[in-house]
Structure 1
Amino acid sequence: MAINPPLNRKLRMGLIGGGQGAFIGRVHATAAILDNRAVLVAGALSSNPEKAKASAPDYDIPAERAYGSVPEMVAAESKRADKVDFVSVATPNHTHFEIAKAFAEAGFNVMCDKPLTFDLKQAEQLAEIVKRTGVVFGVTHNYTGYPLVRQARAMVQNGDLGEIQAIRAFYIQGWLRTRLEKDAQKQASWRTDPAKSGAAGCFGDIGTHAYNLGRYITGLLPEQVSCRLNIFEKGRALDDYGTAIIQYENGALGTVTASQISHGRE
């Protein structure tokens, strides 16, 4: 991909998700401001049109660019001379594919939260759209931006640590140690619902981050994986704890552990 000429301005960002009661959308918006390379100018902040528009003042998004739905935003922004340069998709898992597809097909650059899609077929379809349209498309594994993570990666690449023989990664939380989904708590409700979260619960939600750090820092790919997932909260539909044992391509052994039911952790 060619390097684009400098714009001499901040990138215009659009946010999908992040309305009142949401979590990660606010994080992405804040990060964009802290990085000082983007300004949030438009959004479809909720699947509920009223909430989407009511949430816009929280982000200083002007009313005329506070959209009630993704189709409305795609149509309106496509006609603007100052349309958004990219959109950040910060919505529950089951919505990622259709949202990303709509924007990519319309020629917008996309940053999408993980998981990219629910299955390989959808991912391949998105890849074909990106190839055809030439848009920039990325998936946010946000922990790779931490300075110490970048330092660790550089040390491995420079050979400072020698050959990597073992990788141990873990991500431990405790906020799902009770069944918050029974109380209709928003973040718990969709994360524990297979129709919205996908095939995995805790391991898909945060275990992927732990694995990605090992992959990013070492550059190693897995050859064999054995994984055991558990459900400790009775009646829950998806895993809330799990451990994977990985053999990497150079023979190194690794473990990835993720929990959302460990007492003493938020």
Structure 2
Amino acid sequence: MQQPILKFGMVGGGEGSLIGDIHCRAAAFDRRSEIAAGCFSRDAAKSAATGRKLGISPDRVYSTYEEMAEKEAARDDRIDFVSIVTPNSSHYAIAKTFLQHGFHVVCDKPVTIEESEAKELERIARQNGLLFCVTYTYSGYPMVKQARELVRHGELGDIVTVMAEYPQEWVLNADKPSWRMDPSQGKSCCVADIGVHIAHTVSYMTGLKIDSLCADMQSYGTLMELDNNANILVKYTTGATGVYWCSQVAAGCKNGLKVRLFGSKGSLEWEQERPDELRLSLKGKPLQLLSRGRDAMYPGAKSFNRLPGGHPEGLYEAFANIYSAFCSELSALRQGGVAAGSEADYPRIQDGIEGVRFVDKCLESAQDGSRWVAVTDS
């Protein structure tokens, strides 16, 4: 039986918003959900223009997110969930408001500024049986899922060490500050923006949890006070170790997330800019270049393929995979088929909590002479 199309609303994502456009397109990618309401900007004219472009009825384009939550909650045809794509400092208040009005939430990472805020959102969602997705994009790529399955099935053996990097150059090219650079909008730029992607992607692939870390964070140039380059050493609870580097002042680098896992039986490597490939090296065997859509994959990874091999899949598809998994669980929940918190494959509020904690611990270490700090559930 075909599942009904879910309705969603969006807060943020007005004209000119890259991430808002990505979320909106990804949510509609599989015709599992469609946008029906929004508060797209604090600028009423800009918000109305976005609403017209998206074909939303004018009476469902709201001036504030508070108005949106209240009025949508009172409608018989209310939205099923809300997507939050505003600057990080506003996530907490917006998400809390919609949760308190009974709406499921999809929120861009790293969910909140403070860990206590993220934990409160988790508590409200759990108490009300609501789903809360945090869009850590790279877990949506099929070959990242294949890497996870290779680790889960023991093909690499025990993970010994991890090398991961995420270099960009956009700060070098910026001629004016963005909200990410503004200390009033958050405590970190580089680590909160892309360092958390490293931490989550490694955790997703391996299941490893960080026991302690040592961070050195820098800010180069005169345009910003917050970090734009960071070097982070990590120790995992298993005894494995890792090295993370993230930078927004790496000349010549566009969006270079790369993860290398080294185990007792072999190693693998995945690059975001070549997302359909996975390099696998097993002891005693030739180096393998696995190609999405061509080579054998574990069922849990293969189910997220969309196109035959040689037809590249990328960012939109990865976001769409996250939304599709979220919508599948939400549709089943609405029909009484599952309880909130089941094992559908998408990042959840707990992933968001861990991301915020990672940022805080990096700052704690860097501000105290790059000493080792414990990464524990405070």
Q: Determine the structure 2 residue equivalent to 1:24.
A: 19
Task: Decide which of 60, 66, 72 is 2:67's aligned counterpart.
Answer: 72
Q: Determine the structure 1 residue equivalent to 2:228.
A: 240
1:215-234 matches, cutoff 5 A = 215-234=203-222
Tell me the TM-score normalised to structure 1 length.
0.91
Structure 2 residue 162 is matched with structure 1 residue 167: yes
Over 3 Å counting, the alpha-carbon distance change for 1:36 and 1:160 in structure 2 is: farther
Contact 1:88 1:110 survives alignment (8 Å): yes
Code of the residue aligned with 1:190 in structure 2: it is W
Ranked by relative contact order (alpha carbons within 8 Å, sequence separation 6 or more), the top structure is 2
Equivalenced residues, count: 254
Counterpart Cα distance in 2 of 1:35 and 1:8: 12
| 1:100 Cα deviation after fit | 0.2
Runs of 4+ in 1 over 4 A off after TM superposition: none
Q: Determine the structure 2 residue equivalent to 1:3.
A: none
Counterpart Cα distance in 1 of 2:86 and 2:7: 19
Q: Determine the structure 1 residue equivalent to 2:245.
A: 257
Partner SS state of residue 112, structure 2: coil
Counterpart Cα distance in 1 of 2:223 and 2:16: 25
Q: Determine the structure 2 residue equivalent to 1:114.
A: 109
Counterpart Cα distance in 2 of 1:180 and 1:58: 29
Partner SS state of residue 7, structure 2: strand
| 1:178 Cα deviation after fit | 4.1
| 1:155 Cα deviation after fit | 0.7
Code of the residue aligned with 2:82 in structure 1: it is V
Code of the residue aligned with 2:178 in structure 1: it is S
Structure 2 residue 46 is matched with structure 1 residue 51: yes
| 1:57 Cα deviation after fit | 2.2
1:59-138 matches, cutoff 5 A = 59-138=54-133
Q: Determine the structure 1 residue equivalent to 2:183.
A: 194
| 1:179 Cα deviation after fit | 4.5
| 1:105 Cα deviation after fit | 0.3
Code of the residue aligned with 1:192 in structure 2: it is M
Partner SS state of residue 156, structure 2: coil
| 1:115 Cα deviation after fit | 2.0
**Structure with max Cα Rg:** 2
Code of the residue aligned with 2:100 in structure 1: it is E
Write the deviation string for residues 138-179 of structure 1: whole angstroms up to 9, x where unpaired: 211111000110110011101111111111111111111144
Contact 1:178 1:233 survives alignment (8 Å): no
Q: For structure 2, which runs of at least 5 residues remain unmatched after alignment?
A: 255-378
Q: For structure 1, which runs of at least 5 residues remain unmatched after alignment?
A: 1-5, 182-187
Task: Decide which of 179, 203, 209 is 2:191's aligned counterpart.
Answer: 203
How well do the aligned residues superpose, as a CA RMSD in angstroms? 1.6
| 1:206 Cα deviation after fit | 0.7
Percent of matched pairs sharing the same residue = 37
Write the deviation string for residues 75-110 of structure 1: whole angstroms up to 9, x where unpaired: 221111111111110010110010000000000000
